Structure 1
């Protein structure tokens, strides 16, 4: 099990809190023999009883997502096998089946493991979908819905899942929220993340996601509203960072797996640009993700150069290249962005019907280049290309002509 972004005390001699003791014990579960594992489970149970409500909430449902905790080998442990057997046995029970227990078992299992077996998928997914369909307005019901959707969204995108297990229901959940706004922000994002994950194995979902559910429009709106809620002058809350990063993760998968153009791309690009400008000075991890997203947007064929121009991405990337303080990874993404633009222009040469449009786009970009001395900047960076490529595992061609100079 790996852990990151945990709060650490500056005083190493300070006694561990209940939460930290719990983390330490849980972190050790998959690295011990069966008897020792049993003892540690008993100890974690004792600590859980001592925790107050707020401490306990740190580990139920939100622990994996909010504290960036994940398990690399949990599926190989005896605890995992025991939990899996308990889920299957509870599902097979004909009399006295405890539905609430089954839900909690499924949530616990999926929060701790990043893959779901074919054997458990037809048990866990319908079980969680049923919870996620709840439309009660009580805080308890909302929390149950949010947790179920978060668990589902943690299922890896590489797993094939029969549409019969989820499609009509997840579509209903998204459309109901679009009309009545009944979900919490993180729950709505989780519903989309679960659905976009399915694109990896099922491109038949593209039409519904793009045209019926209007993902691009919804993602742009949600991101914009989230950005407006953030007070960028202070250290933003961990929950706000997680929400932004989860949307960026979902968008990255969407850009990679969806191949249908959407008229809302320019607006979405403009929101990503807005997020970068807001976070550039004080929240570098967020700004790095924004630039990485813009690079991915430039890579895919379906997003046109005009979408990037109208969204302000071309201007932003150019400004960042000129910054002497640019992070090396960000600089690589910026250079690759322009490389992708140049290749898009070259591909347009193959279609005579595109030539008038190509000339206009080329003229607009060249004017930006000449105004700011872009060609000189690229040439000045030429000697660092090899270093940047090796340092950040990104191929940057040495040929300057690939960066517009002779396009």
Structure 2
């Protein structure tokens, strides 16, 4: 049953949307600005109720009958799409709509032109298609990716150019996993990242999006790891971004903020944490920046743990993935105030939910696997030293009590979340 607030939001949006078909182009722009402000305030539930197949079908009809100009339709659709990517929200309204079919047809027609193509139109079509489908247009990679990267390479120092670059990079980052030949993107995306490191010309979301697009390509081409890790120094750059963005969360903590609407900086912090998960999941090349990067993530976790549950939870997921990644050393996780300390703090909480419990147990399970005996004498010496440090930290935190607390709920967790976990929870701790 819909709540009154849900009905009010839907009604307000529909009223604003209905104004588009009866106004001039300039009046439409003003109405779209109001709609954009409303979109920024939306939550996922609002999105699913409002951005339906019927809405996009109606927009398609308005374009057909020239009740809204294509330029204004693009502005509105990009606003919806950017919001989707920023908040990781996907609904099927556009995918199933006649407007989606219209855009597919327009892309094909433009690509088939023998004379010079309308590049601006293609960029607009590509961006809207990617934002609302979360994928590249089929059979268009060889045109789509270079086209968007060219738009992303605009170095003009004005707000319109910065917005153009930002939207193109967000679209590229939100297109999911798809094989793209490195000749189509590598030099361009490297130049975009390197130019920003020197001139700071990108917005924060644009910079994160450039990295996300590049890191997703590792799944198809392992050789990119050397470029990302040692040439472009992702770890160092990501740590700096985490430190800066965490200040907005820290400020709220100092003010005693408890819950409520996220700021743009907090949403962007979540996007960087998501990028780190993708990075640790795919990248297997060690770098000395890992320890600082992990510690920056732990600092975000500690800042957020009392007043931002989602950020705290995402940090836990990334740290568990880092422990699973064998290119991250146990030493990287053991640095004073680091990941091991964070998990030991977390598992003492009475308010842990089941998924966080699983991630905590998996973290120690992964460390246990990493501390198995080595044949090489030098590696064995390092292993024993690391094992000693882990045990000392656990003893300081009273891990025996934690084991006892987990035993009562382990059967439920195994049955409902992680079937492959051992039945004896002490395995995750004692056998370290």
Change (3 A) 1:98 1:335: same
CA distance in 1, matches of 2:8, 2:193: 49
**Which of 267, 270, 276 is the matching residue for 2:295?**
270
Name the counterpart of 1:90.
Answer: 110
What TM-score, normalized by structure 2, do the two folds share?
A: 0.82
- Partner in structure 1 of residue 83 of structure 2: 63
Matches within 5 A, 1:38-77: 41-42=61-62, 56=76, 59=79, 61-66=81-86, 68-72=88-92, 74-75=94-95, 77=97
User: Measured at CA, do residues 26 and 45 of structure 1 come closer, stay the same or move farther in structure 2, by a change above 3 Å?
Assistant: farther
Structure 2 counterpart of 1:396, from 421, 425, 428: 421
CA distance 1:20–1:277, shift in 2 (3 Å): farther
Instruction: Choose from 154, 160, 182 the match for 2:174.
Output: 154
Out of 182, 193, 196, the position equivalent to 1:177 is 196
CA contact (8 A) 2:78 2:131 kept: no
1:219-238 mapped onto 2 (5 Å cutoff)? 219-230=238-249, 231-233=251-253, 234=257, 235=260, 237-238=262-263
Gaps of 5+ in 2: 18-46
Which of 252, 269, 287 does residue 244 from structure 1 map onto?
269
- 1:340 maps to 2:360: no
In structure 1, the residue matched to 2:353 is 327
Which whole-Å CA distance do the structure 1 matches of 2:391 and 2:10 have between them?
A: 62
Q: Cα–Cα, structure 1 residues 59 and 44, in superposed 2: closer, same or farther, change >3 Å?
A: farther
* 1:194 pairs with 2:219: no
Distance 1:245 1:362, change over 3 A: same
Alignment match, 1:145: 165
Tell me the equivalent position of 2:100.
80
Q: Deviation string for 1:51-81 (max 9, x for gaps)?
A: x99x958835523224554244755654323
Indicate which of 7, 10, 13 corresponds to 2:5.
Answer: 10
Q: TM-score of the superposition, structure 1-length normalised?
A: 0.86
Whether the 8 Å contact between 1:66 and 1:239 is mirrored in structure 2 is no
CA distance in 2, matches of 1:74, 1:61: 10
- Does the aligned pair in 1 maintain the 2:10–2:50 contact within 8 Å? no
Q: CA–CA distance in 1 between the matches of 2:182 and 2:116? A: 30
Distance 1:45 1:163, change over 3 A: farther
Aligned partners of 1:349 and 1:355 also within 8 Å: yes
Inter-partner Cα distance in structure 1 for 2:325 and 2:58: 50
Given that 2:53 and 2:94 are in contact with CA atoms closer than 8 Å, whether structure 1 keeps it comes out as no
Label 1:325 to 1:70 Cα distance change in 2 as closer, same or farther (>3 A): closer
1:244-280 per-residue CA deviation (whole Å, 9 max, x = no partner) reads 1211111111111111001011111111111111111
Question: In the aligned structure 1, how far is the partner of 2:88 from the partner of 2:227?
Answer: 31
For 1:74-125, what per-residue CA distance to the aligned partner results, in whole angstroms no more than 9, with x for missing partners? 5565432331221122233344643222211111111111222451111211
| Residues 45 and 342 of structure 1, relative CA distance in 2, 3 Å threshold | farther
- Cα distance change of structure 1 residues 324 and 100 upon mapping to structure 2, 3 Å threshold: same
Whole-angstrom CA distance in 2 between matches of 1:226 and 1:338: 29
TM superposition shift of 1:184: 0.5
SS at match of 1:262: coil
* Contact kept in structure 2, 1:114 and 1:156, CA below 8 Å: yes
Deviates more, 1:142-151 or 1:382-391: 382-391
Change (3 A) 1:238 1:56: farther
Q: Kindly tell me: are residues 12 and 134 of structure 1, through their superposed partners in 2, closer, same or farther at Cα, counting changes over 3 Å?
A: closer
Q: In the alignment, is residue 365 of structure 1 matched against residue 390 of structure 2?
A: yes
- Give the match for residue 30 of structure 2: none
Q: Deviations over 1:130-152 (max 9, x none)?
A: 11000011000000000000000
Q: 1:84 to 1:172 in 2, by over 3 A?
A: same
Match in the other structure for 1:315: 341
Note closer, same or farther for the CA distance 1:30–1:199 as it changes in structure 2 (3 Å cut): farther
Instruction: Answer whether contact 1:29 1:40 (CA < 8 A) is retained.
Output: no
Q: Distance in 2 between matches of 1:67 and 1:354?
A: 43
Note the residue ranges of structure 1 that are not aligned, 5 or more in a row: 1-7, 32-36
Q: Which residue of 2 aligns with 1:34?
A: none
Residue 369 of structure 1 deviates from its aligned partner by: 1.9
Correspondence for 1:106? 126
Look up the match of 2:23.
none
Q: Is the 8 A contact 2:371 2:383 kept in 1?
A: yes
- The answer to whether the Cα contact below 8 Å between 1:25 and 1:44 also exists between their aligned partners in 2 is no
Look up the match of 1:384: 409
